[in-house]
Amino acid sequence: MEVTTLSTKGQIVIPEKLRRSYKAGSSFVVSKIDEMIVLKPIKGLTDKEKQELKELKALWDEIDSGKAPSYSEKEFFKAMKKW
């Protein structure tokens, strides 16, 4: 077992012994199960897919913070036609 610390920026260093088999830039799915944080590597993502995941995360962050626009059903379908 290794011990690490959460920084003020929300960063956690994965101890070297545990990260040796991963390259810098590796992508992971992060989930929380009870009091356990789980990192699961995602293999084979293209650069485009990695960018899409970042954009999707930004959209969800906007929704979670209450900053995303809200539409009525009619407004939504009208906006969707423009896409």
**pLDDT tens, position by position, 5-48:** 999 999 999 999 998 989 888 888 899 999 999 999 988 888 89
CA distance 25 to 60: 22
Helix (H) or strand (E) holding 57: helix 47-64
pLDDT tens for 41-77 read 988 888 898 889 889 989 889 988 988 888 899 999 9
CA distance 19 to 77: 46
Q: How many CB atoms lie within 10 A of CB 53?
A: 14
Predicted TM-score (pTM) of this structure: 0.51
CA distance 10 to 50: 21
